[in-house]
Amino acid sequence: MQQDILINWSPQETRVAVVEHGAVQELHVERTLERGLVGNVYLGKVARVLPGMQSAFIDIGLDRAAFLHVADLMSSINSRHADSDAQAAAAGGLTTPVMASLQPIEKQLFEGQAVMVQVLKDPIGTKGARLTAQISIAGRLLVFLPQDNHIGVSQKIPPRQREELRQRVQALAGDMGGGFILRTNGEDATDAELAEDITYLRKTWARIKGASVRLPPASVLHQDLNLLQRVLRDLVVEGTQTIRIDSREQFEKLKTFAVEFMPATEQKLQHYGGERPIFDLFSIDEEIAKALGRRVDLKSGGYLIIDQTEALTTVDVNTGGFVGARNFDDTIFKTNLEASQAIARQLRLRNLGGIVIVDFIDMIKENHRDAVLAEFQKQLARDRIKTTVNGFSALGLLEMTRKRTRESLAHQLCEPCSACMGKGVVKTARSVTYDILREILREARQFNPREFRVVASPKVIELFLDEESQHLASLSDFIRKPISLQAEAAMAQEQYDIVLL
């Protein structure tokens, strides 16, 4: 798969677009003041131990205490493999899972204790960061596990090569302590490249250990690479043709980083000095705007409706105006086939994670369902993030999961609407007028003001002056008090105040 990577840099924000065959497939945004925390290592302080949940809250200097589960705690040699599978998931998986017998968390931690931890998941919504005490440091080719002695190999590498690769890494690592997981892009690496990565990772760990002795609790000991550097480490693949960046200064810094750590990527780096903004080359800002909307139009005339909630994401497929096929079954099949390609792209583009439910248009023929499912899985195979497709349910819904590693694009760039508070709908102006009438009646039974004044949005006030004027007058007669009206342009449609004069 041929791809180009475009980087738009400014002091406040870095934006990266991965373009494959002329279409944007992934968008990554990092804001200077909002850098993600995943991979950061902290010297934390135990704030509270919860035996009932077998977890603890750890103060790492953030607004909210972070969460550490007993399965992510490593305090003795017997529990060092407790979460090796979780460690492996981030790097593609270990070849041999290891089970462990865990001690209760209350026997391992106490309030006020200092503990070295690493962020597994960024804070999302009201949830604090998820932590692990099993430190892993990612390099270009390897992941270093300083508290472990296991040598693992990514499960994405063919089984017949894993044992040979494990032995090579074992020989290069020697007996200096610590374990390694070979990442997928290390499959074809030379011994010299692997040795270079091992040296870099061990130096990084030595700096972390030194900082843990010098710094007080709730201090950051190590920060993961910034987005520019992670582009070279994580996004560059064999099919990457160019990496174009529109900042001369950042181009030089990235080139220096590439020469030191990832020399194979240096030749792909280019400074973009064109007159047009770099994102205009592929209409990327337009794609971002589309990725923030609910509706995605398909070329055939069908469309998707994508709704993201706290618990899951739903995708509804509709035929729309597509009537190109000779019969209705073929129309549905072709729409679903096109939708499967579009959905896989939207999951990457919007970085949607967690549970995803896809409501394809009902298909009567079993071979049509099989073909759509096969196409969907084929498109998902291009995704760097782990996905699991469970197939169609009894209700005809396709259920799947996509690993959640960071906030979705919408959560990064948007916030809940101040008018509807995230509901997506607001009460009609007429509903608001009836709410006001009921509220005035309640107030009149408790208080005895000289006059009631209604302050509301212009649309609500206009309705009171026109269609609802009779109801307002009737209420005024009933409570024997005058009711005056005041339009306030700054008020949203559901907002109002009733002032007692």
Contact 403, 387 (CB under 8 A): yes
Instruction: Give Cβ neighbours of residue 60 (< 8 Å, ≥ 6 apart).
Output: 42, 44, 45, 66, 117, 119, 129, 131, 218, 220
Dihedral of alpha carbons 34, 38, 39, 43, sign: positive
The predicted structure's pLDDT at residue 482: 94
d(CA 16, CA 409): 12
- Write the burial class of residue 453 (CB in 10 Å: 0-12 exposed, 13-18 middle, 19+ buried): middle
- Architecture of domain 41-225 in this structure: Beta Barrel (2.40)
- The answer to whether the beta carbons of residues 196 and 140 sit under 8 Å apart is no
The secondary element (H helix, E strand) that includes residue 499 is strand 496-500
Burial bucket for residue 389 (CB in 10 Å: 0-12, 13-18, 19+):
middle
Report the alpha-carbon distance of residue 338 to residue 302 in Å, rounded.
9
What dihedral do alpha carbons 246, 248, 250, 251 form, nearest 10°?
80
Per this entry, what is the length of the chain?
501
Tokens of 322: 């597509």
Cβ atoms of 313 and 352 within 8 Å: the answer is yes
Cα Rg of the chain, angstroms: 29
Q: Which residue matches tokens 């181009």?
A: 251
> Quick one: CATH architecture of 429-500?
3-Layer(aba) Sandwich (3.40)
Provide CB contacts within 8 A for 477, sequence distance 6+.
none
Q: Could you please report the per-residue DSSP string of 33-97?
A: GG---TT-EEEEEEEEEEGGGTEEEEE-SSSS-EEEEGGG---SGGGTTTTHHHHHHHHT--SS-
Of 241, 201, 185, 230, the closest CA to residue 28 belongs to 230
pLDDT score at 443: 92
Share of the chain above pLDDT 70, in %: 93
Task: Return the HEC string of 209-247.
Answer: HHHHHHCCCCEEEECCCCHHHHHHHHHCCCCEEEEEECC
Q: What is the pLDDT of residue 235?
A: 87
pLDDT tens-place values along the chain, 501 residues long: 789 999 999 999 999 999 988 889 999 999 887 777 888 999 999 999 999 999 999 999 988 999 999 989 864 333 333 333 333 333 333 333 333 456 899 999 999 999 999 999 988 777 899 999 999 998 878 999 998 888 999 887 888 888 989 999 999 998 888 999 998 778 878 888 898 889 889 988 998 999 999 999 999 999 888 999 989 888 888 889 999 999 999 999 999 988 877 788 899 999 999 888 999 888 898 988 888 888 999 988 889 999 988 789 999 998 876 555 567 788 889 999 999 999 999 999 999 988 999 999 988 888 999 999 999 999 998 888 888 898 888 888 999 999 876 788 888 888 888 777 777 788 999 999 999 999 999 999 999 999 999 999 999 999 999 999 999 999 999 999 999 999 999 899 999 999 999
pLDDT of residue 81: 36
Q: Specify whether domain 3-34+228-285 bears CATH 3.40.50.2300.
A: no
Q: What is the pLDDT of residue 323?
A: 58
Domain ranges within the chain, ordered by starting residue: 3-34+228-285, 41-225, 293-410, 429-500
124 three-state secondary structure: strand
Q: What is the DSSP string of 371-407?
A: HHHHHHHHHHTT-SS-EEEEEE-TTS-EEEEE---S-
Of 184, 192, 195, 134, which Cα lies nearest the Cα of 161?
184
pLDDT of residue 76: 35
